[in-house]
Amino acid sequence: ETGVTQTPRHLVMGMTNKKSLKCEQHLGHNAMYWYKQSAKKPLELMFVYNFKEQTENNSVPSRFSPECPNSSHLFLHLHTLQPEDSALYLCASSQEGRDTQYFGPGTRLTVL
Amino acid sequence: EDQVTQSPEALRLQEGESSSLNCSYTVSGLRGLFWYRQDPGKGPEFLFTLYSAGEEKEKERLKATLTKKESFLHITAPKPEDSATYLCAVSVRGGSEKLVFGKGTKLTVNP
């Protein structure tokens, strides 16, 4: 789905690094989401933003910090991560909350 | 607790051998059921949304159906390019924007 882009596609970071993931949607949607996908587990919702307001934080550790400056852009700021945070991080958007979600290609994160 | 279970976990088919994937759900009130296809290392690609029991949707070799307790994704005469992991998710009536996902069915179609 080229309507949602994510950068970078791959990221390797040490436990003391600070990095950010970026997501941009070109679909005119109002809601954006961050998901974590680990091997052998269902997709886990992390954060939801609706009209730039955070409406859900699914008990995510504070080392993950989201930012939504407008309805087209979403960031996930990372700091002092743990090796178990290594996963595929997916961004999604929808026309409004509870509607069909469209996903980006994901960022493959490896924490050393 | 809202729950989605997909079966089988993995399925191997020969090219042209039709089959079905199952998604059973337990929710307080279903708002919508979603099917996605995911290729390795990529994001899920939207396939179908179903809203009410009895509803059916088709796209090429795929057909999704919905009952009050489960959904089926029927694959007719599959081709090797249909190989992927198929994900099922539900949204709950009156709930948040959260989608509850199953673990997926990994489909392999051999030529």
| Cβ contacts of B96 on chain A, cutoff 8 Å | 48, 55-56, 97-98
Interchain contact B40–A (C-beta under 8 A): no
pLDDT digits (tens, 9 = 90+) for B3-55: 999 999 999 999 999 999 999 999 888 889 999 999 998 999 999 999 999 99
Q: Please report the beta strands in chain A, taking only residues with DSSP state E, as ranges in sequence order.
A: 4-7, 10-13, 18-25, 31-37, 44-50, 53-57, 64-70, 73-79, 87-94, 102-103, 107-111
Given this model, what pLDDT does residue A1 score? Answer: 46
Mind listing the pLDDT tens digit for each residue in B70-88? Answer: 999 999 999 999 999 999 9
At B14 the pLDDT is: 97
Going by their DSSP bridges, the two strands A10-13 and A107-111 should be labelled as: parallel
Report the mean per-residue pLDDT for chain B. Answer: 93
Taking residues B89-103, report their average pLDDT. 81
What's the confidence (pLDDT) of residue A2? 73
**pLDDT of A17:** 87
Give B97→chain A minimum CA distance, Å.
Answer: 4
Cα-Cα-Cα-Cα torsion A46, A51, A53, A56, nearest 10 degrees, comes to -30
pLDDT above 80 for A85: yes
| pLDDT higher than threshold 50 for residue B57 | yes
Report residue A55's pLDDT band, with 50, 70 and 90 as the boundaries: confident
B67 to chain A, minimum CA–CA distance in Å?
Answer: 19
Chain A residue with minimum CA distance to B39 = A105
Contact assignment for A40 to B103 by CB distance below 8 Å: yes
